[in-house]
Homo-oligomer: A and B are copies of this chain.
Amino acid sequence: MPPYLPPEAQRPLTLRDVSEASGVSEMTVSRVLRNRADVSPATRDKVLSAAKALGYVPNKIAGALASQRVNLVGVVIPSLSNMVFPEVLGGISSALEDSGLQPVFGATEYKAAQEENVIYEMLSWRPTGMIVAGLEHTEAATAMLANAGIPVVEIMDIDGDPIDSMVGISHRRAGREMAEAIMAAGYRRIGFLGSKMPDDHRARKRLEGFTEALTAAGLDLAATEHYAGGSSLAKGREMTAAILSRAPDLDFLYYSNDMIGAGGLLYCLDEGLDVPGQIGLAGFNGLELLDGLRLRLATTDACRHEIGLRAAEIVAGKTDDGVIGGKRIELQPRVEKGDTIRG
């Protein structure tokens, strides 16, 4: 690979360049650039105008090595294209806004091995804290996080034991409560539609809670439909057509997320089915997308923004008791019956 040589390839500027241009010692230039108060206004002005004139950009690598401080927070999530996560990231960003900390994102694509790798890469930059989706990691990843000597917050899920802190909801309980709402509305022949990703533990736990509640009421899942790959409206339509052709007597469809649920809803409406009379539907997440459909899909709000917010507050040290580690915060998801569960 040839070296990159733009027309005016100069070596990046250093503090020394600013020092020479301003006639102020490197040390004092450093003070000004870090906004420390103990510099005279005259010196400060000289330095700032020299830095601006040169277009100096500080080297954080050197700064971080010398100060042993890095203003980065690693955030590890399954996917950027899943509409679920942008809202979590929004919560994190807003909580970090005036803390001087900056989030850095990495995606795992729901693969444990890739998660381990992303965590390793991030830790090698010695971040101030880590926020990781889920409680299930490889043994090596768990060990790295536990030994990093920084706050680690596991988010989204609280059905399990955290390495350090956790913020999330109980997916088992979310599944159970949805099952109870469905049965209370009188539905009995219930089908489930979801992905077959082995490492999507939260979807698995929701289904476990869901079937547990059915069993407790003497019911069973009447049919299930699985898919591989990402979620989309089209996939939801397709799966719904498939499950209804195999089991035409179903009176309820529980989807593992809102995107495929919305696709299923559009399909049912286009087919002229009576929703929620003849057949009911429910998804999971509380996506904003649902507001745009003719009928509002029943769902469970996953508190995504608040999860991001609270997790970032823990990392940033904005906690009630002043202690940073060891928090366990369970948020309460709300079942929203919308227009697709009768009653």
Partner of A291, one of B5, B6, B232, B262: B232
CB pair B59 A293 closer than 8 Å: no
Interface range on chain A (Cβ under 8 Å from partner): 35 or more
CB pair A292 B164 closer than 8 Å: no
CB pair B6 A325 closer than 8 Å: yes
Bitwise interface map of A from 56 to 78 toward B, beta carbon under 8 Å scored 1, else 0: 01111110110000100000000
Q: Confirm or deny: A317 has a beta carbon within 8 angstroms of a beta carbon on chain B.
A: yes
Partner of A65, one of B65, B81, B291: B65
Within 8 A of B (CB), among A235-266: 236-237, 262-263, 266
Instruction: List residues of chain B with CB within 8 A of the CB of A148.
Output: 12, 57
Bitwise interface map of A from 295 to 325 toward B, beta carbon under 8 Å scored 1, else 0: 0000000000000000000000100001111
CB pair B293 A233 closer than 8 Å: yes
Stretch at the interface among A82-90, A184-192, A205-213, A215-223: A82-90
Q: Confirm or deny: A10 has a beta carbon within 8 angstroms of a beta carbon on chain B.
A: yes
A80-B89, A291-B233, A292-B234 known; A61 and B55 CB under 8 Å?
A: no
Partner of A4, one of B107, B123, B324: B324
Chain B nearest CB: distance from A80 CB in Å? 5
Chain B nearest CB: distance from A90 CB in Å? 7
Chain B nearest CB: distance from A101 CB in Å? 11
Chain B nearest CB: distance from A144 CB in Å? 6
A234-B292, A292-B237, A292-B263 known; A6 and B61 CB under 8 Å?
A: no
CB pair A2 B291 closer than 8 Å: no
CB pair A102 B121 closer than 8 Å: yes
Q: Confirm or deny: A110 has a beta carbon within 8 angstroms of a beta carbon on chain B.
A: no
Bitwise interface map of A from 29 to 70 toward B, beta carbon under 8 Å scored 1, else 0: 000000000000000000000000001011111101100001
Could you say which of A6, A107, A288 has the most chain B C-beta atoms within 10 Å of its C-beta? A6
Q: Confirm or deny: A151 has a beta carbon within 8 angstroms of a beta carbon on chain B.
A: yes
Instruction: List residues of chain B with CB within 8 A of the CB of A102.
Output: 121
CB pair A9 B149 closer than 8 Å: yes
Instruction: For the A-B complex with A10-B147, A57-B148 known, give 15 more contacts whose Cβ atoms are closer than 8 Å.
Output: A2-B317, A2-B323, A6-B164, A12-B126, A57-B120, A57-B144, A58-B124, A60-B124, A61-B70, A80-B80, A81-B83, A105-B105, A232-B288, A233-B292, A263-B292
Closest 6 CB pairs of A and B: A233-B292, A81-B86, A234-B291, A1-B317, A60-B124, A234-B292
Q: List 12 A-B contacts (CB under 8 A).
A: A4-B317, A4-B325, A6-B325, A10-B149, A57-B144, A60-B124, A60-B126, A61-B125, A80-B105, A232-B291, A234-B291, A266-B292
